[in-house]
Structure formats: structure tokens, C-alpha cells
Structure 1
Amino acid sequence: MNSALAVYAGCVVVLFLKMFALSCYQGFYRLRHKAFTNIEDAAVFKRAARDQELAPVIRASRAWANDLENIPAFFALGGLAVALTVPVMLTVWLSVVFTLARVLHTVAYLSGVQPWRTLCYGVGIVCLAGLCAAITWVTITG
């Protein structure tokens, strides 16, 4: 296995685990406070369903939605970069920096800190643009 594929695969796993942890974070707050918006979930704990989610759950949900706007694009672009043999170091660096930026973005989002959240988001977008440019270059130049 080439090193770009190994690093890309590692980044995919880290991003999956990050998103899974975000789901667990939401579940933790719901269970800790026994606060559910779905009637059937609340009924299990003999509670009334809430009209609105808890604030930490809402924040995590927004971070999750932001992940869904960015991470699938990385999965596709990173896979293409590996398949089209974009230079290994470029693929590795863009993949690692993207992954780190997304992890830090989630931490910043849950913590409510600016401008770090926006900075991490921007770094991730630059990495995606870099992958796009590298894929395009390799495709054009053969």
C-alpha cells in the first residue's frame, strides 16, 4: 500500500471517529439530563418530550451539519488524489491538515470560540481547494 493511501485511510478513520464522538456527545447530554424531543425516547425515561433540544445538543447538531458539508467532499477528493497519483507528499499534507482542521473546528464549535472556529473552517476549505487544484493539474498534464 502506498503511503498516500495509508494516510488517507487513517484520516478517513479519524474523521469517522470524530463524527461518531459528536453523536455520542449529543447522546450524553440527552441521557444526562433525561431530555428528549422525541416522544418515544422521553417515554422510556417516563418524561415528557421537550419542545426544544438542549443547547449543547443544538450546538453539536450544527457542528455535525457543518461536517456533512465538508467531510464527504474530502472523502471523494482524497480518494481521487490517491487514485490519480497526485504527488504523495501533497496528498499526505493536505489530508492531514484537513483532518486536523476539522477536529479543531469541532472543538472550537463546541467551545463557542471565535475566530478559531472560522479559522479552522477556512484551513479545511483551503485544503479541499488544494486537492481540487492538484487533481485538476494531474488530470490535465497526464
Structure 2
Amino acid sequence: MLRNSVFSCFVFYGVLLVLKMYVIAVITGQMRLRKKAFANPEDALRHGGLQYHREDPYVERCRRAHINDMENILPFLFLGAIYSMTGPSLWVARLHFLVFFICRVLHSVAYLLALQAPTRSVAYTVAQIPCVSMAVQILMAVKSYA
């Protein structure tokens, strides 16, 4: 399967996106420690007491960035894998994967740094374009089998 150059390209960007998700998870955990804002009472007790079983706006911002990644990267991984099997041009496929990747990185940076609107919204919207394109191409490729 990795001999398929489009699939190999997809795997490259897919793995980068998963690593980015791990980075956001680590940032969230570090922010919890720094702000002493723990979601679970047992964690709060371990780090100073139940008064730290609380929410913090910065921790919540990190959490929302991570949740948004899961809501968007997981569908991309499904679409990209199937799309890779439809025989697209390597150049076009790479453009789809690269645009999505860059926009998701920009979205995370905008979320974590609270960049001025509409930076995050634009990054989100532009990242949806390759996903919709892949979905349409997948549907066109399989329409004769349905």
C-alpha cells in the first residue's frame, strides 16, 4: 500500500496531524499543571487539594482546540485514506493534504494564542475545502457501485 505515492503522501500528512494532536494534548496537560486547574478531584488532591478541582479559561481554550482537532482531523483521516484509493493525481492530492495540514496548524495556533478574529474561522473554513472536495470525488468514484 505504501507503494501508492498518493497514499504515502496521505500517510505523511496524516501522521503529522496526529502528532500535532498529541502536542495539543501535552500543552493542555501542561496548562492544567501550570494553572492548577484539574478536571478530576483525585488529580487536584495530588497537586495541592480539592480547591484545584476547577476550570480555568486558558485550560478550557486548550481543551477546545484539542476537541476541535478531533472533530476535524478524524474525518480527514477517513476521507484521505479512501480518497487515496480513487487514483487521484499526486499533485492534486498533495495540495489537498497540504492545505488541510497548514490550515489545521494555523487554526491551533490561532486558538491557543487567541489571535484576532477571523483568523481561526478562516483557517477552519479553508481546511474544509479539501475535505469537501475529497468527499465529492469519493462519491463520484463509487457512484456506479451504489
The alignment partner of 2:24 has SS state of helix
| 1:17-62 C-alpha deviation (Å, 9 max, x unpaired) | 1111111111111112333231110111232243532212100111
Query: Counterpart of 1:52 in 2: which secondary structure?
Result: coil
Q: Distance in 2 between matches of 1:50 and 1:36?
A: 6
| Counterpart position of 1:9 | 11
Structure 1 residue corresponding to 2:64, chosen from 45, 62, 65 = 62
CA distance in 2, matches of 1:49, 1:27: 18
TM-score of the superposed pair, with normalisation by structure 1: 0.90
- Alpha-carbon distance between aligned partners in 1 of 2:83 and 2:91, rounded to the nearest angstrom: 11
Question: Which of 83, 86, 89 lines up with 2:88 in the alignment?
Answer: 86
User: Which of 127, 130, 137 is matched with 2:130 structurally?
Assistant: 127
Pick one of 123, 129, 137 that aligns with 2:140: 137
Partner of 2:55: 53
TM-score scaled by structure 2?
0.87
RMSD of aligned residue pairs (Cα, Å): 1.8
Structure-1 separation of matches of 2:43 and 2:13: 34
Letter aligned with residue 138 of structure 2 = I
Report 1:79-118 matches (<5 A). Answer: 79-113=81-115, 114-118=117-121
Work out the number of aligned pairs and report it: 142
Cα separation, partners in 2 of 1:90 and 1:101, compared to 1, 3 Å: same
**2:21 pairs with 19, 22, 33, which one?**
19
Q: Does the aligned pair in 2 maintain the 1:42–1:48 contact within 8 Å?
A: yes
Structure 1 regions of 5+ residues with no counterpart?
none
Deviation at 1:124, TM superposition (A): 0.8
User: Matched residues, percent identical?
Assistant: 32
- The CA distance in 2 between the partners of 1:116 and 1:79, in whole Å, is 28
Determine helix, strand or coil for the equivalent of 1:36: coil
Contact 1:4 1:88 in 2 (8 A): yes
